[in-house]
Amino acid sequence: MKSTPPPAFVRVSERDLTEIELHSVDSINDLHRTHSEQHSKGVQPPRPPPPSTNGNLQMQDRAFVYQTGQPVRMPCVSRLKDICTSTRRHYFLAFAAIIAFLLTLILIFIFLALQSSVLHTLLEMVKQKQETAEDISQLLQQLHKLHINLTEQRP
């Protein structure tokens, strides 16, 4: 029966250590934030899965680690998770609703301004039409008077 050799230690660079430390701090902050939110609601936070007994990564851990052993950095996903937390989600939804409301008001005012300019143009055209109609009416009255004068002068 052969005994298995002890695992070989790999030298980790300072840069890798810094990345691991930063990731650990982010994870701890996330745990504190989710724990405080759940604790204030009276809900117990889920327990983390126990570490594997043989030292290998468990299936849920593998999605977060490259083959180099460095954690995957997904700033978009973490930012989205931050937005989706309950308090931030309410602020985000309220902000989105206010923006939608303001855009709707702006569109309504633009529509009303356009309608106002169209109504102003139509009013000017109606005034011009009335003035033209009055001028034509006066010309017809003068023409009628001239016609009467001409018919009276003929014997």
pLDDT digits (tens, 9 = 90+) for 7-49: 666 676 787 777 787 778 788 888 877 766 555 555 555 565 5
Is pLDDT at 56 greater than 80 in this prediction? no
The pLDDT value given to residue 13: 75
pLDDT at 98: 97
Residue 141 inside a domain? The answer is no
Q: How many helices (H) does the chain have, and how many strands (E)? A: 4, 0
C-alpha separations of 137 from 106, 131, 141 in Å: 46, 10, 6
Q: Is the pLDDT of residue 55 over 90?
A: no
Exposure string over 14-40, b if 16+ CB within 10 A, otherwise e: eeeeeeeeeeeeeeeeeeeeeeeeeee
The domain of 26 spans 14-44+56-99
3-state secondary structure of 10: coil
Confidence at 151, pLDDT banded by 50, 70, 90: confident
User: Considering the domain boundaries, does residue 21 fall inside one?
Assistant: yes
Given a cut of 60, whether residue 74 has pLDDT beyond it is: yes
Asked if residue 60 belongs to a domain, the reply is: yes
Q: Return the closest-CA partner of residue 28 out of 48, 43, 10, 12.
A: 48
What pTM was computed for the model?
0.34
- Domain membership of residue 155 (yes or no) is no
Rounded CA separation 49/60 (Å):
9
- Domain assignment present for residue 73? The answer is yes
CB 65 within 8 A of CB 72: yes
Residues 17 and 59: their CA atoms lie apart, in Å, by 24
Residue 4's pLDDT band (cuts 50, 70, 90)? low
User: Around Cβ 92, how many Cβ atoms within 10 Å?
Assistant: 14
pLDDT given at position 17: 73
Domain membership flag for residue 145: no
**Number of folded domains that form the chain:** 1
